[in-house]
Amino acid sequence: MAEKKRRGVYTLPAYAGWTNQQLTKNCGLVPYLFHKYYGFHAVMAGAKIEDSYPYMKYVSGMDVEFLPDGELSTKLDYIDAHAEDMDLLILHGYYPNYEAMVKRYREHRPDGKIYLELDLNSWLADRTSWRMPNVAALLDACDVIGVAGRSMQRYMARKCPYKIEFIPNGFYNFADTDYTPDFAAKENIILTVGRIGLPEKNNDLLLEAFATVADELPDWSLRVVGGIEAPFRPYVESYFARFPALRERVSFTGLITDRNRLAEEYKRAKIFVLTSIKEGGTPNVIAEALSAGDYIVTSSIDAAADAVDEGRCGEVFPIADRERLANVLAGLTRNPGRIAQGGHHAVEYAGDVFDYGVIVRRLYYLLYGEDGI
């Protein structure tokens, strides 16, 4: 009897290639876990756009293939060459160049599966003509279409004549250690994590809000974790020039690539703050913070209700409202019981909704109609 062919899961980017961070976010995690849980041959293919990819060590067993360039023609040639092995094709977001990629894939593999994760917020959804023939052709070709927020799922139900699944961006314990937070050991730390200084992240809002109420919470500190974008560095310098007393209480750690160290940052903190102007679904950092028992304070992005479980483990403030954010932080620091209660609920909620093991198992069922484990 011939040996059964090993199934393959491939993902290709809309842009030139993948960043290092995307390897351990939803873009890389889903194919990696299809490999780990179901034995798929998993491949991320795209042009090399960073000097190094240190996160490759966390997705051992998944191949990262670098294409000569990021041109659409190169990706189409890649599909031509590998379509026979592409039993599952995963795409992230709606982009016009995916129309050609899906069409080419279907020419080779009418029997294959396509999962389209719409990396959407309401701003993008309003600027896409979901009923146009070219968009409809793309969506028709997909077996599962997902969004990472319940509110966006409801929003799309009114705009798009396709079934849209809620498939959140979750948390996966790469450190393979006990991630359970020790609430007694948590410190009076307000934490934010991400690419610091990107305009859409609006990080200066948190810094200014903390400065506004710093005298009211003398026992609290702010930790800003992530690489600092070059245009943001002058702002950081001016911030400390304006508030020299905060040099001892506001820490910029820089990029942390060690997942164990990053996990400790989440576990130490009591409050996690997201100040984004817009996001595509619930950000991975929210899932990580919830899993560590952090009380969530987030701007009113589309997925805000998902992030705080309708207020059970966090609070929402209006986007770009510094005064409201400052008041929320001041109020929380005077109410440790609320922080603790929300943190305990966050751990339970994260396990039910944002555990990537649960998420991928459900996605597999949606695609193949069986558990598979």
Is 114:143 a contact under the CB 8 Å cutoff? yes
Cα angle 161, 164, 169 (rounded to 5 degrees) comes to 150
pLDDT tens digits, 161-188: 899 999 999 999 886 677 789 999 999 9
Q: How many other β-carbons are positioned within 10 Å of the β-carbon of residue 132?
A: 10
DSSP code of residue 226: B
Calpha distance 42→193 (Å, rounded): 28
Q: What are phi and psi of 316, to 5 degrees?
A: -120, 135
DSSP code of residue 282: S
Q: Print pLDDT tens along the chain (373 aa).
A: 456 789 999 999 999 999 999 999 999 999 999 999 999 999 999 999 999 999 999 999 999 999 999 999 999 999 999 999 999 999 998 899 999 999 999 999 999 999 999 988 888 888 888 889 999 999 999 999 999 989 899 989 888 889 999 999 999 988 667 778 999 999 999 999 999 999 999 999 999 999 999 999 999 999 999 999 999 999 999 999 999 999 999 999 999 988 889 999 999 999 999 999 998 778 899 999 999 999 999 999 999 999 999 999 999 999 999 999 999 999 999 999 999 999 999 999 999 999 999 999 999 999 999 876 6
- Distances in whole angstroms, Cα of residue 58 to Cα of each of 24, 34, 62, 169: 7, 15, 10, 17
Domain ranges of the chain: 8-170+355-368, 183-353
Beta strand segments in the chain, E:
8-11, 41-47, 63-67, 88-92, 113-117, 144-147, 165-166, 189-193, 221-225, 250-254, 271-274, 295-299, 314-317
Q: Of the candidates 46, 44, 17, which has an alpha carbon nearest to the alpha carbon of residue 29?
A: 44
3-state class percentages of the chain: helix first, strand second, coil last, to nearest 5:
50, 15, 35
> What is the model's pLDDT at position 373?
60
One CATH from 3.10.20.30, 3.40.470.10, 3.40.50.2000, 3.30.450.270 for 183-353: 3.40.50.2000
- Per CATH, domain 8-170+355-368 is 1.10.600.10: no
Do the first three CATH levels of 8-170+355-368 and 183-353 match, i.e. the same topology?
Answer: yes
Calpha distance 235→225 (Å, rounded): 16
> What is the model's pLDDT at position 372?
64
Task: Read off the pTM.
Answer: 0.91
